[in-house]
């Protein structure tokens, strides 16, 4: 299917057009699309299959969940046609209702993540957490440089930052869980770390100025991001020229209970995917290395990725 007539035929169906209008805004699971549209799974799945066959969308699996998003390789004319079709029905009541339901679904996503981290605040370092091994953290710590400004993005309680702050000039811990920020701030005060500051914020919209830090860290945080590329882009934005990004995260795995047990949104990442995130953001000297493998099932492996922001 590669002609405008074929594309128009695909876009002529109201259900398919509503699906595409939603996927223009956000990657969504089949279950989330069901909730937004109030339709049966069979109906949605059959329409998504047609859209995938036509080249409008692609899917990925995270455990038992299937997520759909708009193809990033859509031809400009195909994308323009799609946007025009969506714009033409944007004022209809159904479209307005879909947008409201989408907002509620995304808020629900954020609440689920926040509730998980609020629940474990104060005991994150005491219980098991996949990929959070001292071996892996040690690899990251060895690369630290004293007297610099550091941003720990998705810091949690800031276990890494508590160590860094003893040598760094200034450390910012960013986390979207109010309880994590509260617990981390109490720890910083208890340990007399006046240069360690916690701020409530999202790693996809970091509350720090452009070109304000020397080192950005994403330690076991990227697999909790709805849009990992956006999080890496934000790290690039806040880094000074010559600054470095370090990413510790799980290698792609098939432990399907991770979302339920640990609030994960992604089942880790391939080395090539992490490399691609950093390169697309603009980082130079990008390296990705496997640094640890756990001895017990499901044998989580941890990757360390690094990149340097060029310029002066």
Phi, psi of 216 (to 5 degrees): -115, 140
Residue whose entry in the numeric block shows the structure tokens 């697999």:
223
Domains of the chain: residue spans and CATH:
4-108 (1.10.10.10), 134-308 (3.40.50.150)
pLDDT at 131: 63
Residue 239 three-state SS: strand
Q: How far is CA 287 from the centre of its chain?
A: 20
Beta bridge pairs of residue 217: 152, 246
pLDDT at 28: 92
Q: CA separation (Å) from 17 to 9, 37, 76, 82, 95?
A: 11, 12, 18, 8, 10
Phi, psi of 72 (to 5 degrees): -75, -10
- CA nearest neighbour of 284 among 256, 308, 258, 304: 308
Residue 142 has pLDDT above 50, yes or no: no
pLDDT, one tens digit per residue, over 255-307 is 989 888 888 899 999 999 999 999 999 999 999 999 888 888 999 999 999 99
Q: Determine the average pLDDT of the residues in 240-256.
A: 94
Highest mean pLDDT among 53-67, 115-129, 175-189 belongs to: 175-189
Task: Give the chain's mean pLDDT.
Answer: 87
Candidate from 31-40, 163-172, 272-281 with smallest mean pLDDT: 163-172
Residue 183, Cβ density class (10 Å: 0-12 exposed, 13-18 middle, ≥19 buried): buried
Three-state secondary structure of 168-230: CCEEEEEECCHHHHHHHHHHHHHCCCCCEEEEECECCECCCCCCCEEEEEEECCHHHCCCHHH
pLDDT at 141: 59
Residue 143 has pLDDT above 60, yes or no: no
Model confidence band, residue 61 (pLDDT cutoffs 50, 70, 90):
confident
Candidate from 33-37, 107-111, 235-239 with smallest mean pLDDT: 107-111
pLDDT at 36: 93
- CA nearest neighbour of 240 among 125, 150, 155: 150
Three-state secondary structure of 64-113: CEEEEEECCCCCHHHHHHHHHHHHHCCCCHHHHHHHHHHHHHHHHHHHHH
Q: Determine the average pLDDT of the residues in 203-230.
A: 95
Model confidence band, residue 202 (pLDDT cutoffs 50, 70, 90):
very high
Q: Determine the average pLDDT of the residues in 15-42.
A: 92
The two tokens of residue 6 are 């074929």
Q: Determine the average pLDDT of the residues in 221-230.
A: 94
pLDDT at 146: 67
pTM exceeding the 0.75 threshold for the entire prediction: no
CA distance 46 to 30: 11
pLDDT, one tens digit per residue, over 148-162 is 999 999 998 887 888
Model confidence band, residue 26 (pLDDT cutoffs 50, 70, 90):
very high
CA distance 216 to 243: 8
Q: Which parts of 4-56 are beta strand (E)?
A: 28-29
Model confidence band, residue 139 (pLDDT cutoffs 50, 70, 90):
low
pLDDT at 126: 53
Model confidence band, residue 194 (pLDDT cutoffs 50, 70, 90):
very high
Beta bridge pairs of residue 66: 61
pLDDT at 120: 58
DSSP state of 156: T
Q: What percent of the chain has pLDDT over 70?
A: 88
Model confidence band, residue 145 (pLDDT cutoffs 50, 70, 90):
low
pLDDT, one tens digit per residue, over 109-136 is 877 666 666 665 665 555 556 665 655 6
Q: Give the CA-trace dihedral at 33, 34, 38, 43, to 10 degrees.
A: 110
The two tokens of residue 148 are 């610099």
């Amino acid at each position: 299917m590669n002609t405008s007539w074929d594309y128009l035929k695909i876009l002529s169906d109201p259900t398919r057009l509503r699906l595409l209008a939603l996927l223009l805004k956000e990657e969504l699971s089949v279950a989330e699309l069901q909730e937004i549209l109030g339709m049966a799974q069979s109906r949605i799945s059959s329409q998504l299959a047609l859209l995938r066959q036509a080249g409008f969308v692609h899917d990925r699996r995270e455990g038992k969940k299937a997520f759909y998003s708009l193809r990033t390789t859509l031809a400009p004319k195909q994308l323009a046609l799609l946007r025009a079709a969506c714009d033409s029905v944007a004022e209809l009541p159904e479209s307005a209702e879909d947008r409201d339901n989408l907002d509620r679904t995304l808020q629900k996503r954020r609440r689920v993540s926040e509730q998980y981290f609020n629940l474990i605040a104060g005991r994150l370092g005491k219980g098991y957490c996949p990929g959070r091994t001292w071996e892996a953290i040690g690899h990251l710590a060895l690369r630290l440089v004293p007297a610099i400004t550091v941003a720990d993005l998705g810091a949690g309680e800031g276990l890494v930052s508590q160590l860094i702050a003893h040598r760094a000039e200034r450390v910012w811990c960013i986390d979207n869980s109010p309880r994590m920020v509260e617990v981390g701030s109490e720890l910083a005060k208890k340990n007399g770390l006046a240069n360690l500051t916690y701020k409530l914020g999202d790693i996809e919209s970091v509350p720090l100025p452009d070109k304000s830090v020397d080192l950005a860290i994403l330690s076991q945080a990227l697999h909790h991001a709805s849009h990992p590329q956006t999080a890496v882009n934000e790290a690039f934005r806040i880094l000074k020229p010559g600054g470095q990004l370090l990413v510790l995260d799980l290698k792609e795995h098939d432990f399907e209970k991770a979302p339920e047990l640990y609030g994960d949104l992604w089942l880790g990442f391939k080395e090539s995917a992490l490399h691609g995130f950093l390169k697309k953001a603009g980082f130079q000297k990008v390296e990705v290395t496997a640094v640890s493998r756990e001895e017990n099932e499901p044998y989580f492996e941890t990757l360390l990725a690094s990149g340097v922001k060029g310029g002066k």
